[in-house]
Structure 1
Amino acid sequence: MNFAQLLFPDFSLILCGYLVCRFTKLNRTVWEQVESLVYYFLFPVLLFHSIVKSPLDLSAASSLVGAAISLAVGLIALSYSLPHWPWLGKRIDVRLHAASAQVAFRFNSFILLALADRVAGPQGLLMVAVLIGVCVPIFNIGAVWPMARHANRGFARELVRNPLIVATASGLVANLLGFSMPYWLEPTVNRIGQASLALGLMAAGAGMQFGSMATAKALAVAVLAIKHAGAPVLAFGLARLFQLDAVQTTVLLTFSAVPTASSCYVLAARMGYNGPYVAGLVTLSTLLGMVSLPFALGVLGSIP
């Protein structure tokens, strides 16, 4: 399978979002509202529907969940350890590291959800929905904790107000209780899901910023290396360790190789940290995803 060709439609939508935002009247003010629509309504509907429309076998997904949690914990630990590396620690500003560490392990759910169905089908989309429900709280804690520690702010409210977590938790409960979507509502919900993927990808492109990247180059290289090289390799090793099947391995590799979350910038800026620097990291991560995804799926995924 030619993964570069498979991924081209999704990255072309990212490019369209970038060009439309930069060269038309549909500027960042417009796309900020689109991001809110996707994040607070369209994506939660997609996640809820993806979970409830298929019976969920938690025992069958336990190995994948275990591998994903191990991946999450490993990446968080690795990103936290950067100030303690003997050749790098002295060159890292503590506050800048607190803001940018999240880039090394968070993921862009817009891109992940768009890719899941393309690379692994409906079963893959269901697995991704489960991984989002399990890993988003872990990643949010990992992202907020170092900044909250330096800024003396809590993070519990950030977790319970996350719409993706709420939608996933609701979907899991509804699935286990045997709820199914009414047939007359299915076409509407399906169209909402399709709209969420296209708008989410374009919003990711519109949010790209080449910010102040001249400072802390070593930190930027280290964070992005963990995200786009370390994460896929670690995911591949965990897939072997947990004996995942082919579909589960593809889902985990996709999960590990997608660009970082665009909300990294929002979170850093909202908590009083260097937003432009983090925005630059997010932009570079989005571009590097064009390399890490074919590497993870085409190279690592093809190893017998």
Structure 2
Amino acid sequence: MGRLHKYKPPEAGTSGRYARPVNFAQLLFPDFSLILCGYLVCRFTALNRTVWEPLESLVYFFLFPVLLFHSIVKSPLDIGAASSLMAAGLALGICGIALSYSLPHWPWLGRRLDPRLHAASAQVGFRFNSFIALALADKIAGPQGLLMIAVLIGVCVPLFNVGAVWPMARRANKGFARELVRNPLIIATASGLVANLLGFTVPSWLEPTVNRIGQASLALGLMAAGAGMRLGSLTKAKQLGAMVLCVKHLGMPLLAFGLAMAFRLDTAQTTILLMFSAVPTASSCYVLAARMGYDGPYVAGLVTLSTLLGMASLPFALGILA
């Protein structure tokens, strides 16, 4: 189980995870129900944004990094077996970034786009919600899926952060190197890969604590994604929003499907790459846009719509393309 090896889904009628492809919607329901719970609790109880904002920081800066680090170090990593998945993930990221930033150059449509709004919202087209990705990877392919999604996060998060920050920094005359070196997911993934290659393992007496931290991070991360949903400010730039979301929820899964074929990924790797391409965009898109001086509420609306559209794009990627 430790290595990224050939994975064959069980035949129909067995008790395995892939026994019935039509059950992907049912498989995704528990995670999206947690997102809905987070939204309802935040909007209709005293546990409002003042509660959820510190919780998001706890998940992002501590719980998720622990989960990522442990997912990587607990199983020996076969770089040779993972190289095709890593290359496919990088190619997917580059294609997604290029497609998102090509929108102003599309005939007829591109000239109508607001340059500043496009610079802030283009990141929605290629970034991913790591809360949802980690939860689904564990549910779809177990520990092997967590290892594979950790590898994808390790190679794609730096690329996606550069793609997201650089255009806004260029327009706002700000640097982005500090944003990259301080990213907790990059730090956790890089340190996990180094520790794995050096043969480090988490002591057995610490395993139960680390496992519980990982379990808590998945549930709290999904609820935090729901608590952060907003629909304000979407009345403007509807065309730009539709184009960016089309790139994210249609273009990216189709690109992932083609790249999986081109890189000859096995069944498990293909499924994880398709899932990775179809998950909703990162909730931190709003934070980044606002911090860089752009229209944060507009980006927050796109993040919310992307979360809702994920309920269609994930079954499309996992049930139809897979």
Question: Please, what TM-score do these two structures have when normalized by structure 1?
Answer: 0.98
Picking from 290, 297, 303, the partner of 2:318 is 297
Matches within 5 A, 1:65-76: 65-76=86-97
- CA-atom RMSD, angstroms? 0.5
* 1:165-214 Cα distance to aligned partner (Å, 9 max, x none): 00000000000000011000000000000000000000000000011111
Please state if 1:12 is matched with 2:33.
yes
Q: What are the within-5 Å matches in structure 2 for residues 165-244 of structure 1?
A: 165-244=186-265
Moved over 4 A (4+): none
Please state if 1:276 is matched with 2:297.
yes
**Where in structure 1 are there 5+ consecutive unaligned residues?**
none
CA distance, structure 1, for counterparts of residue 169 and residue 123 of structure 2? 13
Matching of residues 1-304 of structure 1 within 5 Å: 1=20, 2-301=23-322
Deviation of 1:120 (Å): 1.3
2:80 partner letter: S
Deviation at 1:89, TM superposition (A): 1.4
Q: Give the % identical residues.
A: 81
Hey, what's the Cα distance between the residues in 2 that align with 1:122 and 1:294? 21
User: Larger % of helix: which?
Assistant: 1
- Matched letter for residue 149 of structure 2: V
- How many angstroms apart in 2 are the aligned matches of 1:87 and 1:144? 27
* Structure 1 Cα separation of the partners of residues 65 and 109 of structure 2: 40
In structure 1, C-alpha distance between the alignment counterparts of 2:195 and 2:274, rounded to whole Å: 28
Secondary structure, counterpart of 1:183 in structure 2: coil
- Distance of 2:80 and 2:282 partners within structure 1: 29
SS state at 2:234 partner: coil
Structure 2 counterpart SS, 1:154: coil
- Give 1:254 shift: 0.6
CA distance in 2, matches of 1:63, 1:138: 17
Q: By how many angstroms is 1:160 displaced?
A: 0.2
Q: Which runs of 5+ in 2 are unaligned?
A: 1-19
Q: Which amino acid aligns with 1:108?
A: N
Q: Which amino acid aligns with 1:152?
A: N
Deviation at 1:253, TM superposition (A): 0.3
Cα displacement (A) at 1:86: 1.3
Which residue type is aligned with residue 170 of structure 2? R
1:275-302, Cα deviation, whole Å (9 max, x unpaired): 110000000000000000000000000x
TM-score by length of 2: 0.93
